[in-house]
């Protein structure tokens, strides 16, 4: 007998004496975590790794390296020696927090502001300069060989990350795919589809939203009416959480939990890291045309490098001499990398065809030939 025919399951009519039927079928909450406030004070007990000076200094070094690379890349572009470059000024804690929690065998699918993560994983600054200089060799990493190259098309690498994670699962490899994209990318169908498939197939993939509050000139408030971007995971049946993305300890801690879960077969995870883009969108942009300088100056008080340095200094773990030594070492590394990049003879126009295809389609073979002839003229 159909349920509706039984007395018990007839639709209820208003009867104040009976317990009302439940009117909500799902509830969710988005956790937010932070360990260090903007002044570097611990707001709750720190995780174990953050009680270890060497590990904290390594995180600090990773962020300073990223910032120095960034500044040099902008300088090279401004002097006509690099292509358009996407600075990650102020966002260094996100990629460094991510990469420091990953294992070498995991796989990074970055967007275009994650050079801090790439450098941490062994991609060399020379390779990164080559990439941004338009040289195909910049995507053929000597280390971290299976990591994906920079992805400039917004969000298109999210479905790829799902494919990578599916391969890991089918091969029974205990590896995790880590896919990073911006707040703007969360409005793309690619990202929604990737989250959905990752959830349905329970895949070992961690998505990280590098939420710098802007997508070129589009502020977050116009990007979405949702209160958080982390909650976009919920509709896909995935756990989503938010972290202070200018607190490298919080990013790393959340990442570690997500990776451990994914590695153990616990499925995907989404982390929204709240940070702020202190610079222009790219070297081809002038953010002064669409955003108030006062907004940017206020955000400088929250930036991640000074925050961790304040913490280290307050704990007596870091001093002037340490800082000078670190800056000298990193400056040398970056300057040498820039020199090596500038000394690299450029590739011919055929490289972009040969790097992409094993067997060139006929029309592209014609274009390849035309490009070679044009370059000879």
Q: Does 223 bind Mg ion (CB under 5 A)?
A: no
153 binds, among Mg ion, ligand TPP, none (CB under 5 to 8 A by kind): ligand TPP
How do 205-211 and 269-274 pair as beta strands? parallel
Catalytic residue among 281, 307, 311, 368: 281
Minimal CB distance to ligand TPP: which residue? 182
Q: Coil, strand or helix: which one is 179?
A: strand
Residue 316's nearest CA partner among 92, 38, 56 is 56
- Contact between 280 and Mg ion (CB under 5 A)? no
Minimal distance in Å, beta carbon 288 to ligand TPP? 17
Residues 107 and 178: beta-carbon distance below 8 Å: yes
Question: From the list Mg ion, ligand TPP, none, which binds 113 (C-beta under 5 to 8 Å, kind-based)?
Answer: ligand TPP
DSSP string for residues in 178-209? EEEEETGGGGSHHHHHHHHHHHHHT-SEEEEE
* 89/81 Cα distance (integer angstroms): 20
C-beta of 27: minimal distance to ligand TPP in Å?
Answer: 29
> Is residue 311 annotated as part of the catalytic site, yes or no?
no
DSSP code at position 142: S
The contacts of residue 53 (CB under 8 Å, 6+ apart) are: 317
Which residues of this protein are in contact with ligand TPP, per CB under 6 A? Answer: 113, 152-154, 181-185, 210, 212, 214-216, 277, 281
- Concerning whether 290 is annotated as a catalytic residue, the answer is yes
Could you confirm whether 160 is annotated as catalytic?
Answer: no
* 118 counts as binding Mg ion under rule CB under 5 A: no
The reply to whether 212 sits near Mg ion by the rule CB under 5 A is yes
Applying CB under 5 A, among 38, 182, 267, 268 the residue interacting with Mg ion is 182
Q: What is the dihedral of CA 192, 160, 272, 36, to 10 degrees?
A: 180
Exposed/middle/buried for 350, CB within 10 Å: 0-12, 13-18, 19+?
middle
Instruction: Rule CB under 5 A: say whether 190 interacts with Mg ion.
Output: no
**Does residue 209 contact residue 189 with C-beta atoms inside 8 Å?**
no
Considering only residues 135, 183, 239, 280, which one is a binding residue for Mg ion as defined by CB under 5 A? Answer: 183
| 126 vs 154 by CB, closer to ligand TPP | 154
> Considering the complex, what minimum distance in angstroms separates the CB of residue 212 from ligand TPP?
5
Chain residues binding Mg ion by CB under 5 A are 182-183, 212, 215
Catalytic residues: 277, 281, 290
């Amino acid at each position: 007998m159909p349920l509706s025919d039984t007395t018990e399951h007839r639709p209820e009519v208003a009867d104040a004496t009976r317990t009302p039927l439940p009117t909500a079928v799902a509830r969710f909450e988005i956790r937010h975590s932070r360990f260090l406030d903007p002044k570097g004070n611990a707001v709750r007990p720190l995780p174990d790794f953050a009680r270890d000076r060497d590990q904290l200094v390594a995180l600090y070094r990773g962020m300073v390296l990223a910032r120095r690379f960034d500044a040099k890349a902008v300088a090279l572009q401004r002097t006509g020696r690099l292509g358009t470059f996407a600075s990650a000024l102020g966002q260094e804690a996100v990629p460094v927090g991510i990469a420091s929690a990953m294992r070498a065998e995991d796989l990074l699918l970055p967007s275009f502001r994650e050079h801090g993560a790439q450098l941490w994983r062994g991609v060399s600054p020379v390779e990164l300069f080559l990439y941004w200089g338009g040289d195909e060799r910049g995507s053929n990493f000597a280390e971290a060989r299976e990591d994906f190259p920079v992805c400039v098309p917004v969000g298109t690498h999210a479905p790829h990350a799902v494919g990578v994670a599916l391969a890991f699962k089918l091969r029974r490899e205990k590896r995790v795919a880590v896919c990073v994209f911006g707040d703007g990318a969360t409005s793309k169908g690619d990202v929604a589809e990737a989250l959905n498939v990752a959830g349905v197939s329970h895949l070992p993939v961690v998505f990280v939203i590098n939420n710098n509050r802007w997508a070129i000139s589009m502020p977050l408030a116009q990007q979405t009416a949702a209160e958080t971007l982390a909650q976009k995971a919920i509709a896909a049946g995935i756990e989503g959480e938010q972290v202070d993305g200018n607190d490298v300890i919080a990013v790393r801690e959340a990442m570690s939990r997500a990776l451990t879960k994914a590695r153990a077969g616990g499925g995907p995870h989404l982390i929204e890291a709240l940070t702020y883009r202190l610079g222009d969108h790219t070297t081809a942009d002038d953010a002064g045309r669409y955003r108030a300088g006062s907004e940017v100056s206020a955000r400088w008080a929250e930036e991640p490098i000074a925050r961790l340095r304040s913490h280290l200094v307050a704990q007596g773990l870091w001093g002037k001499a340490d800082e000078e030594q670190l800056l000298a070492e990193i400056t040398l590394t970056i300057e040498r990398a820039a020199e090596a990049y500038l000394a690299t003879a450029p590739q011919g126009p055929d490289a972009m065809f040969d790097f992409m295809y094993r067997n060139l389609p006929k029309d592209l073979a014609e274009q390849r030939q035309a490009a070679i002839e044009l370059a000879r003229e």
